[in-house]
A and B are shown apart, each in its own frame.
Chain A
Amino acid sequence: MIVLLTISTTRVPATDLGFLLHKHPGRVQSFAESVGTAHVFYPESTDERCTAALLLEVDPIALVRGRKGPSGDGFSLGQYVNDRPYAASSMLAMALKDVYRTALTGRCTARPELVEIAFPLELHLPAVPCRGGAGLLRDLFEPLGWAVEATAVPLDPTVPEWGDSRYLDVRLTGQLRVAEALNHLYVLLPVLDDAKHYWVSSDEVDKLVRAGAGWLAGHPEKALITRRYLAHRRELTQSALARLAEVDDTDPDELDNAVDGAAELDSPDRPAPLAEQRRGAVLAAVRASGARTVGDLGCGEGVLVRDLLAERGIDRVVATDVSARALLIAGRRLKLDKMTDVQRARLDIFQSALTYRDDRLAGLDAAVLMEVIEHVDEPRLAALERAVLGHAAPSTVIITTPNVEYNVRFDSLPPGESRHRDHRFEWTRAEFARWAEAAAAQYGYSVRYLPVGAEDAEVGPPTQLAILTKVVT
């Protein structure tokens, strides 16, 4: 299993490249890496043209063993059979940094004058994983002075209907300093890859600042580069949930998606982001109900919880979510460990599932299900109704859900697609009302509706909100 990078130049004498890379063209050198062995050799080294090849020979078994790292029990099939050993990704970036360390920092003791010279360079990477395709590749490299040539690699030539893989056979040509070129690769290869499950190390911000010196600050895609570079280094997600996904031959992301940080769609003329408007409307409904004990059922990362805790009239907040990960993030965001006893006593936060009855939800004055029901399979809503309206039975239940009629107003949303990939359904106003009224009637509630966000004359508001009030006999 190998990963390949070749760097060529035609600046006479081309063998100067050897001085800059600190690697003698006449030798084959090998370096031990944590994931295998890196070899540097020169397929050609004449005055007219010199090519240095970095060949990373990955040891797949050592790769796995080395990975048991901080999270200890990290097991997932994707770790064993994956493209890392062939693809130019963060592993190559790491090898690059180890093998060409001096070159990367722009030092050359033997021929210091070479450092500042822009060389005609040609880089070849036969398999670059690129989430975002050749377009993104160009967006990232062209502003830096590279000419980009990229050929898509088909996924499987015997199954043409599968189309292209996410790999590109990439050639970059340009007139650049060698150190610059190496730093571009070091930062941008992991950014292109955007893989999620690989841990590298912690002080990544510093590393990015160092490697991006002089070129990242002015890069038009700076935001994307920074986000992806740092994001893919998040904790290794070898969660129990990921293991369940693999039992089913499923991508862990498909199950572990309760917290995916997807940006929400916003209406074209937005006075405030929709999420903010929604929280505002929910808070208004909570205040109007006079509730003192409020449940945020499906609290996610706890944004509404923070608002509820800030309300003076609320004595106690019960926050639940089915995702253990969401609760972890909510706990961090709410700074649970730094709360005073008085603050902490106002908040109960625990895992619960709305399709199961939960006695801990008894005694709520109001319960909020904000953007929750659309994440439950429609046939299972009866169980949710029974657990929430029948069993927990708060005096007021506030429910929000997207209004699918409004989807046509989102320019970025292709027709027929839902706003979030985990939405099991999105309802029209009539559908929502039909459901809310039937559920309310069954469990003794009355219903009223509020629009959330600017109401469109034709398709209504972007979000619909229903307030169910327990009928007192």
Chain B
Amino acid sequence: MTRELAIPELSLVVLIGVSGSGKSTFGRAHFRSTEVISSDFCRGIVADDENDQAATPAAFELLHYMVGLRLRAGRLTVVDATNVQPEARRALVEVARAHDVLPVAIVLDVSERVCLARNAERPDRDFGAQVIRRQRDQLRRGLRGLQREGFRTVHTLGEDEIDDVTITRTRLFNDLRHETGPFDVIGDIHGCRAELERLLVELGYDLTRDEAGRPVGAHRAGRRAVFVGDLVDRGPDTPGVLRLVMGMVAAGDAFCVPGNHENKLLRAMRGRNVQVTHGLAESLAQLAAETEEFRAEAARFMDGLISHYVFDGGKLVVSHAGLTERYQGRASGRVREFCLYGQTTGETDEYGLPVRYPWAEEYRGRATVLYGHTPVPVPEWINNTLCLDTGCVFGGRLTALRYPERELVSVPAAEVYYEPVKPFPANADTAGSVARRDADVLDISDVVGSRVLETRYQKRIGVRAENAAAALEVMSRFAIDPRWLAYLPPTMSPVATSARPDLLEHPEQAFEYFRTEGVGEVICEEKHMGSRAVALVCRSGEAAQARFGLPGLGAVWTRTGRSFFSAGLTAQFVDRLSVAIESAGLFDEFDTPWLLLDAEILPWSAKAEQLLRDQYAAVGAAARSSLPAAVAALDRAAASGLDVAGLRARTAARAANADAFTEAYRRYCWPTDGLAGVRLAPFQLLATEGAAHHERPHSWHLDAADRLVTADPEVVAPTRRLTVDTTDPESVAAATQWWSELTAAGGEGMVVKPAANLTRARKGLVQPGLKVRGREYLRIIYGPDYTEPDNLERLRARGLGHKRSLALREYALGLEALDRLARGEPLWRVHECVFAVLALESEPVDPRL
């Protein structure tokens, strides 16, 4: 008869058997080849000889290392080695425990005769019979103690059973990934039965009662409750709470994880020596009044509770005291300890309570973690974790979170049932409010090193370590507080190079690109002669403090995250913008306490005056001084009969170019004094609370911008634009004409974008915009003489591939940052995208593009 062996889905399977007992064959038959690691293989790797016994220590070092890596990744692993010695097994049990994985032993109990016969068939195994005999002896001696050694499951297979076995992988008890909710996760109850009843009713559950009128169940179609533990102790009716919760769990209407109080109560009920404090006495007294049968049932219930649950495909974890990512879905003594008591530092505070380690502030897991254990006045999201213990028994509230809706529902305590050791700020006004507190210190491992980010718009974007290193320096030394810095704009590619004799860029290549990508309608926006800026503007100081945890009304920053203005000017500027947004009605319309704007700040000289002086004006000054002297010298040489005509003509042309160059940069300077003369030209409303807006058409964004212009025309500048049908030659011609006029009048050029905004084509994202710069503007980019035919010809060879790819990667990262911001994800999740944009910006690309 086929024997069925059950092993946990995530376990370390240790095969035990003497040489020749068929371990490798067994491993091959029942496991994937990648799941099995054999000591012979490791010997081969370290010594080029699978039977070199001298290589055994190094081979096992390698084996343990590989096992550890697999277990860390949560992969079932099978060890194919004799494992007949207790030391060998102990080392493996330790590896399993270090990764909180259950060790399983499968013993192949094969007779000495068969093993000897098998080894004899293999020429590479020339060890004698005494070796097999010794291994058999060791195996037999060890068999009985395997459970004691730490193996949770032991399967022993006789010679006749080995060939007729099936292995069944069983889910861990904590694995409820197939349960997708919706759930109502309920915080610490501590015997507050009346509040629990009210909360369940509030949540829409129908209570069922026994003949004595006591609630014994609650049901709401399509929803399940999840209790985070600490049902018992301190409060007025521990048995009543147990009765109700036990009924719900039994009926399949609820799940429940244990709290430390259940654990202790159970030990007390079993007569263990426990200190009767912290409200345990009340529970024991109340339970004494119950029937023996009820007490036994309650004890059985509490004993059977599983330390924590992983729900909804791994997206939700519920545990009494929270759970770090590496323990989720794992099983070990210390996992259970963490679930019950949290992470403590071993110290105690001034009230004699254990000092808790702020694991949530370091939490970087993808799963939402809901827990209780530590009473908080108001539930706060910290890195996607939420504590639901709002101190009901101390006169606070009993709180539940609706999942996946993430809505809080709570009821106030009828009275203070128990005086806390540490004062608890009972405050009935906090009903339903939830705060967010992201750790204001990010972790270096969130950003440095070689990293790969997953975005919704482009899978897997890589950041190289050296680029991250440069970004780290700028981010930490020069950038504004990361809590403001929710976004950095992506770089933008120019159009493909024009083939026209006197130009490098022309609109026709932009229209052609978008047409080829299947985009019919594009919008041309004038390219402002300023500096790119992002502005985060809050409605009020309180709103800023609540959402971003920072003083002030917001921030304005550059493409590398540096503050655009000094602190004082920033405050003035943001205040003024906030007023404009208010009077334009945008805060109300989007029901948002803040707005994130993508914009240009004018004039360019407001930020780049030093650059203008040191680089551009300097070029003009040097040229003005050198060229006339050179022309004069050449004139005299010509007069004395030397043939310098060609050189003189070229030099004279250069003088004209230098003048044109000077004209070009001068257009970017106008005097500003403080904020007087500084203007913001917004062109995208990137995000508001709960929503990123990159899928709304540009016309929508520009309409919003126009309303800001109307509200404060002095500070907010409009963006001129033109909508173009790329398939209509007349429309294209009109746009080309528009560009020619803009640039002829000294304008910088225009940006062509898909009118619908975010656009995908067959090959992925379409460029969000292409810049088409004017001929004279390009002089300050490519140098005064770039228009000389010989120079232009060589410049046409510019390659755009890298720039285009970079623009899309940065665009995808920027959108991901906005999505995460809008979803209210933890700071580090937004920051890693923003940081990656900055890192990519340090990639070497021709800066003239």
B470-A239 in contact (CB<8A): yes
Report if B113 contacts A (CB, 8 A). no
Report if B123 contacts A (CB, 8 A). no
Report if A226 contacts B (CB, 8 A). no
Please judge, given known A-B contacts A4-B629, A244-B470, A322-B472, whether A61 and B791 are in contact too, CB under 8 Å: yes
A61-B795 in contact (CB<8A): yes
Contacts of B238 in A (CB 8 A): none
Contacts of A353 in B (CB 8 A): 444, 472-473, 475-477
B470-A324 in contact (CB<8A): yes
Min distance, Cβ A157 to any Cβ of chain B, angstroms: 8
Contacts of B560 in A (CB 8 A): 244-245, 247-248
A389 and B92 alpha carbons, distance in the complex (Å):
38
Instruction: Choose among A44, A77, A244, A383 the residue that contacts B838 (Cβ–Cβ < 8 A).
Output: A244
B625-A43 in contact (CB<8A): no
Please judge, given known A-B contacts A55-B647, A250-B611, A380-B481, whether A162 and B617 are in contact too, CB under 8 Å: yes
A258 and B472 alpha carbons, distance in the complex (Å):
13
Report if A80 contacts B (CB, 8 A). yes
Chain A 38-88 residues near chain B, CB threshold 8 A: 39, 41-45, 51, 53, 55, 57, 60-61, 73-78, 80-83, 85-87
Instruction: Choose among B347, B445, B845 the residue that contacts A473 (Cβ–Cβ < 8 A).
Output: B347
A323-B473 in contact (CB<8A): yes
Report if B471 contacts A (CB, 8 A). yes
Chain A, residue nearest B846 (CB) = A75
A255-B474 in contact (CB<8A): yes
Please judge, given known A-B contacts A2-B627, A357-B444, whether A28 and B642 are in contact too, CB under 8 Å: yes
Contacts of B783 in A (CB 8 A): 1, 60, 80-81, 85
B634-A43 in contact (CB<8A): yes
B636-A44 in contact (CB<8A): yes
Report if A6 contacts B (CB, 8 A). yes
Chain B, residue nearest A27 (CB) = B642
A165 and B785 alpha carbons, distance in the complex (Å):
21
A360 and B608 alpha carbons, distance in the complex (Å):
39
Chain A 153-178 residues near chain B, CB threshold 8 A: 153-156, 158-159, 162, 165-167, 169
Please judge, given known A-B contacts A53-B633, A473-B347, whether A1 and B647 are in contact too, CB under 8 Å: no
Report if A352 contacts B (CB, 8 A). yes
Chain B 776-793 residues near chain A, CB threshold 8 A: 780-786, 791
Which of A121-129, A310-318, A329-337 contacts the other chain?
A121-129
Chain B, residue nearest A166 (CB) = B618
Report if A33 contacts B (CB, 8 A). no
B662-A156 in contact (CB<8A): yes
Min distance, Cβ A187 to any Cβ of chain B, angstroms: 21
Please judge, given known A-B contacts A357-B442, A359-B445, whether A165 and B618 are in contact too, CB under 8 Å: yes
Min distance, Cβ B774 to any Cβ of chain A, angstroms: 16
A41-B440 in contact (CB<8A): no
Number of interface residues of A (CB under 8 A): 87
Report if A215 contacts B (CB, 8 A). no
Min distance, Cβ B849 to any Cβ of chain A, angstroms: 10
Binary flags per residue of B641-661, CB closer than 8 Å to A gives 1, else 0: 011100100110010000000
Contacts of B846 in A (CB 8 A): 75
Min distance, Cβ A388 to any Cβ of chain B, angstroms: 10
Contacts of A20 in B (CB 8 A): none
Report if A98 contacts B (CB, 8 A). no
A59 and B442 alpha carbons, distance in the complex (Å):
49
Binary flags per residue of A294-338, CB closer than 8 Å to B gives 1, else 0: 000000000000000000000000000011100000000000000
Contacts of B786 in A (CB 8 A): 60
B477-A322 in contact (CB<8A): yes
Please judge, given known A-B contacts A2-B630, A248-B560, whether A42 and B443 are in contact too, CB under 8 Å: no
A4 and B666 alpha carbons, distance in the complex (Å):
26
Contacts of B845 in A (CB 8 A): 75
A387 and B442 alpha carbons, distance in the complex (Å):
9
Report if B466 contacts A (CB, 8 A). yes
A351 and B472 alpha carbons, distance in the complex (Å):
9
A155-B621 in contact (CB<8A): yes
A358-B647 in contact (CB<8A): no
A165-B781 in contact (CB<8A): no
Contacts of A246 in B (CB 8 A): 847
Contacts of B843 in A (CB 8 A): 240, 243
B618-A83 in contact (CB<8A): yes
Please judge, given known A-B contacts A76-B847, A255-B474, A255-B478, whether A249 and B469 are in contact too, CB under 8 Å: no
A85 and B611 alpha carbons, distance in the complex (Å):
18
Min distance, Cβ B489 to any Cβ of chain A, angstroms: 10
Report if B558 contacts A (CB, 8 A). yes
B847-A77 in contact (CB<8A): yes
A49 and B669 alpha carbons, distance in the complex (Å):
46
Instruction: Choose among A156, A241, A251, A356 the residue that contacts B614 (Cβ–Cβ < 8 A).
Output: A251
Chain B, residue nearest A162 (CB) = B613
B443-A357 in contact (CB<8A): yes
Chain A, residue nearest B622 (CB) = A86
Contacts of A243 in B (CB 8 A): 470, 841-844, 847
A245 and B623 alpha carbons, distance in the complex (Å):
26
Min distance, Cβ B608 to any Cβ of chain A, angstroms: 4
Contacts of B475 in A (CB 8 A): 353
A387 and B444 alpha carbons, distance in the complex (Å):
10
A57 and B613 alpha carbons, distance in the complex (Å):
24
Contacts of B640 in A (CB 8 A): 42-45
Chain A 92-139 residues near chain B, CB threshold 8 A: 124, 126-127, 129
B610-A251 in contact (CB<8A): yes
A391-B441 in contact (CB<8A): yes
Chain B 400-416 residues near chain A, CB threshold 8 A: none
Chain A, residue nearest B488 (CB) = A247
Contacts of A43 in B (CB 8 A): 632-637, 640
Chain B, residue nearest A86 (CB) = B622
Chain A, residue nearest B848 (CB) = A80
Instruction: Choose among A75, A82, A376, A391 the residue that contacts B619 (Cβ–Cβ < 8 A).
Output: A82
A249 and B668 alpha carbons, distance in the complex (Å):
13
A448 and B637 alpha carbons, distance in the complex (Å):
77
A153 and B669 alpha carbons, distance in the complex (Å):
20
Binary flags per residue of B599-632, CB closer than 8 Å to A gives 1, else 0: 0000010011011011111111111111111101
A4-B617 in contact (CB<8A): no
Min distance, Cβ B79 to any Cβ of chain A, angstroms: 31
Chain A, residue nearest B839 (CB) = A240
A245 and B478 alpha carbons, distance in the complex (Å):
11
A244-B441 in contact (CB<8A): no
B625-A244 in contact (CB<8A): no
B625-A73 in contact (CB<8A): no
Report if A279 contacts B (CB, 8 A). no
Report if B246 contacts A (CB, 8 A). no
A43 and B647 alpha carbons, distance in the complex (Å):
13
Min distance, Cβ A70 to any Cβ of chain B, angstroms: 14
A41-B644 in contact (CB<8A): yes
Chain B 151-200 residues near chain A, CB threshold 8 A: none
Report if B467 contacts A (CB, 8 A). yes
Report if B90 contacts A (CB, 8 A). no
Contacts of B477 in A (CB 8 A): 255, 258, 322, 353, 375-376
Report if A418 contacts B (CB, 8 A). no
Contacts of B611 in A (CB 8 A): 249-251
22 A-B contacts (beta carbon < 8 Å):
A2-B630, A28-B637, A28-B647, A41-B634, A41-B637, A41-B642, A41-B644, A44-B640, A55-B630, A126-B629, A127-B622, A162-B617, A165-B617, A240-B842, A244-B842, A247-B841, A248-B560, A251-B611, A251-B614, A355-B441, A360-B444, A376-B477
Binding site for A on B (CB under 8 A): 347-348, 362, 440-448, 466-467, 469-478, 481, 491, 531, 558-560, 562, 604, 607-608, 610-611, 613-630, 632-637, 640, 642-644, 647, 650-651, 654, 662, 666, 669, 780-786, 791, 794-795, 838, 841-848
Contacts beyond the supplied A43-B632, A126-B628: 14 A-B pairs with Cβ under 8 Å: A1-B654, A1-B783, A2-B654, A28-B644, A41-B642, A44-B640, A76-B847, A80-B847, A81-B781, A81-B782, A83-B621, A169-B625, A244-B842, A383-B441
Considering the complex of A and B, which 6 residue pairs feature the smallest CB-CB distances, nearest first?
A: A353-B476, A240-B470, A86-B622, A43-B636, A240-B842, A73-B844
